[in-house]
Amino acid sequence: MEGIIRGIWVVAYRELLRFIQERSRLFSSFAMPLIFLIVFGAGFGRMIGTMVPGVDYIQFMYPGIIAMTVLMNSLMSGISIVWDREFGFLKEILVSPLDRRGVLLGKAAGSAIVAIMQGSIMLVLAPFLGVSLSLMTVLALIPVLFIISISISSLGLLVASRMKSQQGFQVVIQLIIMPLIFLAGVFYPVNNVPVVMELISKVNPLTYGVDAIRQVFLGADVSATIGVTVFGHTMTVLDDIIIVAALGLVLMSAAVWSFNRSD
């Protein structure tokens, strides 16, 4: 247990240092979500109008944009493993007393902290974009963002455990990111789409992350109208978090198994 805890601390601390030193990463991580927000918000906002009374399209979409920011950073967390493998640093980690499970958990924890930092930037921008925000909302969002990031980063680590080059990893991740984003209810309610798209959306883990963030932002009453329903049951924040956390546990277990076999 001591080796796992030490591994989590050492690796997470290193991830934070790398993030601080790579300032371009800070900009690029939320540049695309902002572009989506501006393009879709400006393009469809007036045309669509209000989603439900008191909630316009920007307010509906903004929680999804925050989820997108977390998703992109979390999935890209795996690239550090590929980078370390390419430059030989991974071998030094593996021959150290650090537990391999601690190494992966440290990567995920570091990614989650970075994702919260980046999500916080989006929260700071919210009032300037007409999205109301309270201190209680921010405090409620922090653990939700952390769990979502830990779970999604497990997928990035699983992919990275089998990749040998950064270029190959980026190609695979880009193929994963776009379907996850567009089928997660970021831009439209998943209950108001064709049946096939609805089924795919409801097996998409990010759908429940987006729904959880949206419920924290807009409240359960709004979610009863435009939230995610499964077998006639409207998902609550707790339901969403349980699904995301359970999937994250499965993906992290698979990542540890794959990491042990590949290295």
Summarize pLDDT for 25-49 with one digit per residue, the tens.
Answer: 666 666 777 777 777 766 666 666 5
Residue 44 C-alpha from the chain's centroid: 24
- CA neighbor of 245 nearest in space, from 141, 150, 132: 150
Distances (CA, A) of 134 to 66, 139, 140, 173, 223: 16, 9, 10, 34, 18
Provide the residue-wise pLDDT of the chain in tens; the chain has 263 residues. 655 676 677 667 777 777 776 666 666 666 777 777 777 766 666 666 566 666 777 788 888 888 888 887 777 777 777 776 766 666 666 666 666 677 777 778 887 888 888 777 778 878 777 777 788 888 888 888 888 888 888 888 888 877 777 777 778 888 888 888 888 888 888 877 788 888 888 888 888 988 888 888 887 676 667 778 887 788 888 999 999 999 889 988 888 887 777 65
**Dist CA 123 CA 140 (whole Å):** 12
Of 145, 141, 132, 133, the closest CA to residue 56 belongs to 132
The 8 Å CB, 24+ separation contacts for 215-223 are 215/240, 216/63, 216/137, 216/140, 216/141, 216/144, 217/59, 217/62, 217/63, 217/131, 217/133, 217/137, 217/141, 218/55, 218/59, 218/60, 218/63, 222/52, 222/54, 222/55
